[in-house]
Amino acid sequence: MARESFASIETTASQAEGLLAQGRYGDAERYYRELVGQTHVIDYEYDDWLRRLAEIYRVLGRVRAAGYIYLYLHYFDLAREAFTAAEAPADKARVLEIEKRYSEAAELYEVARLPVHAGVAWDKAKQQDRSAAAWEALLADPGLKHRPYEQALVHFNEGMAKSTLGEQGGTGKRSLVEAQRRLEEVADEFETRGERERAFDCYQILLKLGRDSGQFENLAEGYLNCIRVLKEDNLKFYVLQYYEDFIRLALQRGELHAAATLFQEAADYAARNGLPYDRHYQARAAETWVRCGDKHRRDASPVEMVENSLLAGISCYSAVGQYEQVRRLFESLTELDLPERKSQRYAAISRRYAQAENDSQEAPEFPEYLKQQHAYADIWFVDLIEWELAGDPYGVSASIVGDLRYPDGIRRRALVVVLSLEDAAARGEEARADTLTKVAELLGELQSYAALSPLERLFEHDQPEVRRAAVRALRFLFFKRAFVLVRRALKDHDEGVRDAALEALAGLHFPHAFNPLARIYRETTDARVKAVALESVGKIQSIEAGEFLLMVLRQEDGVLREVAKQALAGLDNADMLPILRQHHQMEGNPAVREILGELLRSARMA
């Protein structure tokens, strides 16, 4: 057990070294455990503490704890020595997977009865026959019976593995078709329940399906639904990132009509949301419509298709003041095999633009560093691994310790969770409420999405102090999924749990949080919950948040009106100033008009 107080790193390190030199390993272990809890220190110092702690654990016979320290340090030989295949197949498999010895890892995962982990490892080993067999066998798992999303993922993984083996026309294709059907159904259910982020995951997988299968229809369905969800969440730059990526793929596949249409949609979206990229997108749309017309001409398509493409290009060029191009395209229309009356009209119009000059207004392009780089998380694996681990704090943390995709700070904190559970197990106290309370606190400090599943599991505990800790930990986890647990906790029968949910609610303010916060505000009848949700909305600093606060200011009175007023006063967004002025001019309620005037006069909003 750690001491009740922590003096300083220097003092504790000195005491730890002295105890170790005296051979007092049990006492030294406690001091080194305190030191490795200081996860912010520089690498060489921290790693030195870990090496000494691992040696102490070996002396004390706690080889599993030593093994995870060696895994963090990437001392693979020592980690494999600590994790024997017979006693700890899953632990040893994790080491082998980090070493990229995927086939050996897969075999041990199968011994450990972790079929999802095995299937993923077989896939990484490029042994698609073994991977396909693993996914096919998993479909019979009774745990999947009432898990439609996970079933869809297994069908998807099975289909992708079999397709790689050349079974596109057989069982592989059938599995992918089944996966697509299930993903579409599950996505609809998620959206109906208001879980748009879960629906977004489904559409991301449809993107993967479209990209790998070459089916543009699947690709389009995935992208358009992702864009729609992002628009609903008002994530403007993400919307344009997905437009950029979709357009790039459409152009690569020669889908010029689709690409031109997407350029126009992106232009309209940018213009509506005050982003400066609309002229660039309109110009690119015009160029693409012209290319589309040229392609129709080469393909000997009906002349009406060529005409419509050029007219669409003219409309886009006109929108950005490129009148020389407008004139040129009208001249091109006169060269088509069109009725004489049409040709004469197009010729007359082209002459009107003879002296027109182009608009020289700038047309900034969407910044290159913001463009999507085809980097989609392999959620078809990640979400199944989460299901298989079932929120086990040890398993989730152990999977992070050696994984260099996570920053060192997160890996260190995951190691602390593992070591804390090892300490509790050594005392036979791993199931005690105070142990689980401490674990919940440590999981919150991970500040990683991976912590959510263990916290959700801990929230199911019958002891209220565990549920309180699980909810309180959410205040560090800036993910929309955190609000699902917050909403449940706000209705808990224990007052302490409800208070912890309020504490978490007060800490969860980030751009993606607006919609969940607004939903909580609308759903609850508790004035305290409404007030805390409003305060968090005010800290988001977006126009959308400001407009919501303005609505509350006008519709509510008393405490909620005052909270909205204070939140608006602290809103540091110059784009809200013209909106406040407009409402001030139109407001019919004298009290609200006075508040709006006061806000406009304040130095912060001026």
Return the DSSP state at 406: S
Question: Whole-angstrom Cα distance, residue 163 to residue 149?
Answer: 21
How far is CA 346 from its chain centroid?
51
pLDDT band at 588 (very low <50, low <70, confident <90, very high): confident
Query: Which pLDDT tens digit goes with each residue over 239-257?
Result: 999 999 999 999 999 999 9
Phi, psi (degrees; rounded to nearest 5) at 447? 55, 40
Six-digit token pair at 132? 């396909």
- pTM, two decimal places: 0.84
Return the DSSP state at 490: T
For the cut 90, the answer to whether the pLDDT of residue 374 exceeds it is no
The Cα angle at residue 191 between residues 189 and 194, in degrees rounded to 5: 115
Instruction: Give the Cβ contact number of residue 113 at 10 Å.
Output: 11
Decide if 307 contacts 338 (C-beta within 8 A). Answer: yes
Average of per-residue pLDDT values in the chain: 90
Decide if 21 contacts 48 (C-beta within 8 A). Answer: no
Decide if 112 contacts 90 (C-beta within 8 A). Answer: yes
Per-residue confidence (pLDDT) for residue 357, from 0 to 100: 84
What Å distances lie between residue 493 and 105, 138, 432, 436, CA to CA? Answer: 45, 38, 22, 20
Rounded percentage of the chain residues whose pLDDT exceeds 90: 70
For the cut 60, the answer to whether the pLDDT of residue 375 exceeds it is no
Decide if 67 contacts 91 (C-beta within 8 A). Answer: yes
Per-residue confidence (pLDDT) for residue 4, from 0 to 100: 43
572, with CB counted inside 10 A (0-12, 13-18, 19+), is exposed
Query: Which pLDDT tens digit goes with each residue over 200-242?
Result: 999 989 888 888 777 788 888 889 999 998 888 777 888 999 9
Query: Which pLDDT tens digit goes with each residue over 523-548?
Result: 999 999 999 999 999 999 888 888 88
Secondary structure (3-state) at 341: helix
Six-digit token pair at 101? 């010895």
Instruction: Give the Cβ contact number of residue 288 at 10 Å.
Output: 26
Query: Which pLDDT tens digit goes with each residue over 69-79?
Result: 999 999 999 99
For the cut 50, the answer to whether the pLDDT of residue 123 exceeds it is yes
Can you tell me which residue has the tokens 């919950």? 529
Secondary structure (3-state) at 445: helix
Per-residue confidence (pLDDT) for residue 605, from 0 to 100: 42
Question: Whole-angstrom Cα distance, residue 522 to residue 34?
Answer: 45
Q: Which of 94, 47, 55 is nearest to 73 (CA)?
A: 47
Asked whether the domain spanning 236-375 has the same topology as the one spanning 9-109, the reply is yes
Per-residue confidence (pLDDT) for residue 557, from 0 to 100: 87
Instruction: Give the Cβ contact number of residue 44 at 10 Å.
Output: 7
CATH match for 236-375 among 3.30.565, 2.40.50, 1.20.1650, 1.25.40: 1.25.40
Query: Which pLDDT tens digit goes with each residue over 494-505?
Result: 999 999 999 999
Question: Whole-angstrom Cα distance, residue 360 to residue 283?
Answer: 13
Domain parsing of the chain, residue ranges = 9-109, 236-375, 391-475, 509-606
Query: Which pLDDT tens digit goes with each residue over 26-54?
Result: 999 999 999 999 998 888 899 999 999 99
Q: What CATH superfamily classification does 509-606 receive?
A: Leucine-rich Repeat Variant (1.25.10.10)
Decide if 419 contacts 33 (C-beta within 8 A). Answer: yes
Q: Architecture of 9-109 per CATH?
A: Alpha Horseshoe (1.25)
Per-residue confidence (pLDDT) for residue 166, from 0 to 100: 73
Looking at the chain, how many residues does it have? 606
Six-digit token pair at 61? 């016979």
